Structure 1
Amino acid sequence: MTNEETQTLNIDSLIQPILECEPQTSWPLLLPKLLDAYPQSAELSYRVAVILEQIGALAESEKAYFHCLDLAPKNYLVYLYLGYLLETKGEENTALACYALCETLTGSFNRLQLANSTAPQTLKRFQKAWQCMERNLGTASSITSGRWVQYSSKPFETPQAPHLFYVPNLTAKPIWLAQQFSWYESFSTMIPDIIREFHATFNTASSHLTPYLSGKEYESVFPKLANSNNWQALSLFKEGVENVSVSTHFPILKKALEKVPCYGLTASPYEVFYSKLAKGQTITPHYGLSNHSLTVHLAIDIPHDCYLDVNGERVSWQEHQLTIFDDSYLHMAHNGSDRDRIVLIFSIWHPDLTATQRQEIKSEFKNRQRWIDNLNATLDQYRNDH
């Protein structure tokens, strides 16, 4: 929280005379006056806020924390400490917004590895924040028994371990027989045309290939694949948004998918893409986001020494055939050959889910995203009202 002014400002020399020479009852009056004298010091605001909180001067402390946020809006400790103060005051909904904003800066509290040097009072606040988030965010409101995994300490009932959302009591098995699905026959009749379209079009559309894993957050788990051409995607749909510059090249595929119950949170499929795994590459074992969808692979170009492993079950792709699996199980893929492996990937709704349950899941994700998008507005509204 340092800035140009606080680098030369001796904060201890300002605070200590008050703490050592003045009665504690006068601190709520004297310490805020320091902020008036040095309004651009985020560090001073934070130090004053913590001291005032410790002596129970919550209104003055709250004001100092908010002032600190104005100066240092990306400091996670301010959100954490302000959230703890608000929760102490009984303002749990606003505290929850603070904790969520803190989490966007630190990563999931459930997986956060705190250093041994972390101050006890900070550890205490992280624990309190996690409890508040689990209490308020762990359970789905739209679909019965659904839960947001990153805010739930409840164990899974099967070897599945999705890291975003989980719906219990769905049929759980790693590999699914493609022929059991009602849409399989009609889709299969179009596979030869899909393959021909791919070979006729892929080279033209390949300029739109991008690393499938983009972002620093993937570099520690997938060091050889993240932000590289070792695993690329040619996406017709990504996160529910159609990439028209690509999808226009594949009208036959789009037509074939119209009769498939593609998973999506909007009217569009959530993802449809051609996946190119480079020679000699391995997608290391990992879990998917949820268990309410299944992943479908259509094998396009499969060299030797290629396989998919789901929960210890190894499957070799068969060219021009479908493989369907539940990626909420631990899974990995391997290409030990000397050329690229290419499969078409899309997701379908879990067949146990009714139309009503699918809509409930869509509503759950929509409402959660709306809440996330309004976190800062929630904090601003509280501040304006108080």
Structure 2
Amino acid sequence: MQDPSRILECARAALANGRPDVAEQHYLALLDRAPAHGEALAFVGMRMLRRGAAAQALPLLRDAHAAAPGDAAINENLGIALLRCGDHAAAERHLVAALNTEPRLHRARLMLGKLRETTGEQRQAAIEYQRAIANAQRLGIWLSPESTPRALRDEVLHAASYVRRYQRALVDEIVQPLRARHGSVALRRVEDCMAGYLRERTMAPDDPRQRPKTLFFPGLPAQPYLPLSAFPWLDHLRNEADAIREELIALRENGPDAFRPFLNFSHHAQVERHLRNTAGAAPAWDAFFFYRHGHRDDANHARCPRTSAALEACPLNRIRDQAPEICFSVLTPGTHILPHHGDTNSRVVVHLPLVIPPGCALNVGGERREWRESEPIVFDDTFEHEAWNRGNTDRIVLILDAWNPYLTEAERECLAALVPVLGDFERACQLTPRRR
């Protein structure tokens, strides 16, 4: 009789050589001699499950789980087998256990989405389906029918369709009353925008330099820099520039600790993807926030009352949890903000230059401009843009978000209602929530 250790060695060798069918025969032989062998139970159970024999796989996977209850792959396969056998409560326990151990098990996540759908949890089903698809696509699979395993193809296509239908329902629920109030014609561009966002229709900018990361609004003029004449309210901000600068200087002298990094990085490699420093020092892009992701910092407003009053007189685009974003932005000598694209052309970025040493510039869509103190610049950040300070002292501008001036009031109202709801869903689908 062949030694079990030798059989195990042959099974592993077959796997290493890409012969799972041969490996399965060895593992079956091993189970004849060692019925409680966890590795063999897990492998044979997994193979039966993939052949569609969930009921036959179930006892093997249960025994494998008893031998290794914390193994993510065993919990995943056992959860799938239980789901296919109709035991929803037990399937949930094991799928959740697998994902708690390894959150990026996209097949387990897909099955958890199916479970949520089966039990009528529509929102959670859509979230789990979207997480599963995003995780898989980051690994280069589930991008097309060809890159999706045949056994999962129908389920992946169903999941993608389910997510689109769920998002469409969210959009329709918000747009319908606004359509009744303003009329279909007034919201035609919003409807087109949403069709593009939901990938129901191809929507792309005419100018290839323009690449919004999140939301493209069609029918707006494509221009890297916008004319100041489109923003008559900027005259008031320009008139307050000296007072704002005085408060900035006092703040820097008395409260430098109030400034913090504009972007949050967990490790140095992330910094290098966004910032460089040509002067040999560490790059630094710091900010003093008046609004962050749409949330007002009352304490910071109180520290700069003239600036606060000037800002509150501006027609800011207010979107829950997202906009406006307003701050004193400090770029240290030698720091270069590398080329990147913004989220949406429905918003534009306003700079009020306050402290500008020689050697500082902004490049949007390949068009370079130098800041001049107290003279606003407005640009569409969905065009590739970058900024640098090649001077010897800090460059400081006041940054604020504004609506694209070519949106109508009805369109702004609709976007202000839609974007937070879509953003809530987007953030819920992220395993590690991020902010821009």
Q: Give yes or no for the alignment of 1:211 onto 2:258.
A: no
Determine the C-alpha separation between the residues in 2 that align with 1:50 and 1:201. 59
Matching residue of 2:140:
114
Matching residue of 1:361:
415
Matching residue of 1:318:
372
Query: Quick check: 30-39 or 84-93, which moved more?
Result: 84-93
Percent same amino acid at aligned positions?
Answer: 22
Opposite residue 241 of structure 2, the aligned amino acid is: I
Opposite residue 30 of structure 1, the aligned amino acid is: P
Unmatched runs of 5 consecutive residues or more in structure 2: 1-35, 176-189, 431-436
Determine the C-alpha separation between the residues in 2 that align with 1:13 and 1:113. 28
- Please give the secondary structure, in 2, of the residue aligned with 1:144: helix
Opposite residue 69 of structure 1, the aligned amino acid is: V
Counterpart of 1:146 (choices 189, 193, 212) is: 193
Opposite residue 205 of structure 2, the aligned amino acid is: E
Per-residue deviation, residues 294-317 of structure 1 (Å, max 9, x unmatched): 100011111112111111111111
Distance verdict in 2 for CA 1:268–1:291, change over 3 Å: closer
Q: Give yes or no for the alignment of 1:64 onto 2:116.
A: no
CA shift, 1:229, in A, is 5.8
Residue 279 of structure 1 contacts residue 339 of structure 1 at CA under 8 Å; is this kept in 2? yes
Opposite residue 34 of structure 1, the aligned amino acid is: D
Matching residue of 2:130:
100
Residue 212 of structure 1 contacts residue 231 of structure 1 at CA under 8 Å; is this kept in 2? yes
Determine the C-alpha separation between the residues in 2 that align with 1:325 and 1:113. 35
Distance verdict in 2 for CA 1:210–1:130, change over 3 Å: farther
- Please give the secondary structure, in 2, of the residue aligned with 1:283: strand
Matching residue of 2:111:
82
Q: Give yes or no for the alignment of 1:156 onto 2:184.
A: no
Residue 62 of structure 1 contacts residue 85 of structure 1 at CA under 8 Å; is this kept in 2? no
Matching residue of 2:74:
44
Determine the C-alpha separation between the residues in 2 that align with 1:48 and 1:275. 52
Counterpart of 1:11 (choices 32, 38, 46) is: 38
Matching residue of 1:202:
252
Distance verdict in 2 for CA 1:17–1:360, change over 3 Å: closer
Greater RCO structure (CA 8 Å; 6+ sep): 1
Matching residue of 2:187:
none
Correspondences of 1:261-276 after superposition (within 5 Å): 261-266=315-320, 270-276=324-330
CA shift, 1:25, in A, is 8.0
Opposite residue 81 of structure 1, the aligned amino acid is: L
Matching residue of 1:255:
309
- Please give the secondary structure, in 2, of the residue aligned with 1:291: coil
CA shift, 1:231, in A, is 0.8
Residue 293 of structure 2 contacts residue 322 of structure 2 at CA under 8 Å; is this kept in 1? no
Query: Quick check: 334-343 or 77-86, which moved more?
Result: 77-86
Per-residue deviation, residues 329-364 of structure 1 (Å, max 9, x unmatched): 111112122222111100111112233322211211
The structure with the greater share of residues assigned to helix is 2
Residue 273 of structure 1 contacts residue 345 of structure 1 at CA under 8 Å; is this kept in 2? yes
Counterpart of 1:30 (choices 59, 74, 80) is: 59
Per-residue deviation, residues 271-309 of structure 1 (Å, max 9, x unmatched): 110111111121111101111111000111111121111
Residue 79 of structure 1 contacts residue 98 of structure 1 at CA under 8 Å; is this kept in 2? no
- Please give the secondary structure, in 1, of the residue aligned with 2:286: strand
Query: Quick check: 329-338 or 131-140, which moved more?
Result: 131-140
Matching residue of 2:230:
180
Distance verdict in 2 for CA 1:79–1:34, change over 3 Å: same
Opposite residue 154 of structure 1, the aligned amino acid is: T
Q: Which has the larger radius of gyration?
A: 2
Opposite residue 145 of structure 1, the aligned amino acid is: D
Residue 285 of structure 1 contacts residue 331 of structure 1 at CA under 8 Å; is this kept in 2? yes
- Please give the secondary structure, in 2, of the residue aligned with 1:146: helix
Residue 62 of structure 2 contacts residue 78 of structure 2 at CA under 8 Å; is this kept in 1? no
CA shift, 1:158, in A, is 2.8
Determine the C-alpha separation between the residues in 2 that align with 1:75 and 1:243. 34
Unmatched runs of 5 consecutive residues or more in structure 1: 1-8, 377-386
Per-residue deviation, residues 12-70 of structure 1 (Å, max 9, x unmatched): 332467778xx9585166346537856934432223345678xxx35358953652313
Matching residue of 2:273:
221
Determine the C-alpha separation between the residues in 2 that align with 1:289 and 1:24. 46
Matching residue of 1:242:
296
Determine the C-alpha separation between the residues in 2 that align with 1:133 and 1:354. 30
Residue 242 of structure 1 contacts residue 268 of structure 1 at CA under 8 Å; is this kept in 2? no
